[in-house]
Amino acid sequence: MIKVTVWNEFLHERKGEVVKKVYPEGIHAQIKSFLDTEEDITVRTATLDEPECGLTEEVLNDTDVLIWWAHMAHEKVPDEIARRVADRVLMGMGMIFLHSAHYSKPMKILLGTTCSLAWRDGSRERLWCTAPTHPIAQGLPLYIDIEREEMYGEFFDVPKPDDVVFTGWYNTGEVFRSVITYVRGHGKIVYIQPGHETNPIYYNPYIQKIIKNAVRFAAPCENLRDTLECSNEPAPLEK
Ligand code: ZN
């Protein structure tokens, strides 16, 4: 079983009528609902308002892959919690940053750059698969059309990714490295660009498939799980 925690700041959905209509129970609840249909994945959620942002040592120690959606309250996540998340990634926890989480504290800590990008509202996007052999691309078509999405464009100030699994093109002319992967320490990191809160992106079966594939890709292998359980002790070479 892959244990997933979906973290959401959960503010837009409570403050904005438009967003509330798209995600009445919150973005985290919608992501949980489509991951819950997978037999090998078990999901819990956590939000900003919970004690320690819902990301206690106990929760993180019991998480194989953490999914992070945030936009308006990056600064409200205490530095200590952001560091705790980043440290868990270095020890092997998989991490998936969604959409505006590019500016989250854990992403900036892990990648070490500003993670800034060009931005404009309202474009049609075509996501081109640029790494068809990658595990995240399996079962997906050569391209995916999204009728309306916020434009995130280059230059995206991130380190050179290990893989650019999908490249976004917009009808307004821009391009973007939309689904990219990294390894930091023992942990795998995936950034996935589509997911603006006023668009029903997380109802799109192709985006759901990308996230499901990303969960399985980012999950720690069995050896690293042993390492996680015994903190910083290296895993034994033989058993
Ligand atoms: Zn957005």
Distance 203 CA to ligand 1 centre (A): 16
- R_g (Cα) of the chain, nearest Å: 17
Distance 223 CA to ligand 1 centre (A): 37
Indicate whether 49 belongs to any domain. yes
Contact between 235 and 223 under an 8 Å Cβ cutoff? The reply is: yes
Indicate whether 148 belongs to any domain. no
Neighbours of ion ligand 1 (CB under 5 A): 100, 150, 196
CATH number, domain at 47? 3.40.50.880
Q: Which domain holds residue 224?
A: 2-113+176-229
Indicate whether 124 belongs to any domain. no
Indicate whether 130 belongs to any domain. no
Indicate whether 66 belongs to any domain. yes
Distance 178 CA to ligand 1 centre (A): 13
Q: Beta strand pairing status for 163-170 and 143-153?
A: unpaired
What's the pTM value of the predicted model, to 2 decimals? 0.93
- Tens digit of each residue's pLDDT, the chain (239 residues): 999 999 999 999 999 999 999 999 999 999 999 999 999 999 999 999 999 999 999 999 999 999 999 999 999 999 999 999 999 999 999 999 999 999 999 999 999 999 999 999 889 999 999 999 999 999 999 999 999 999 999 999 999 999 999 999 999 999 999 999 999 999 999 999 999 999 999 999 999 999 999 999 999 976 565 555 545 555 566 65
Indicate whether 43 belongs to any domain. yes
Domain count, the chain: 1
Indicate whether 196 belongs to any domain. yes
Indicate whether 44 belongs to any domain. yes
Distance 153 CA to ligand 1 centre (A): 12
Distance 104 CA to ligand 1 centre (A): 13
Determine the Cα angle at 45 with ends 42 and 47, to 5°.
165
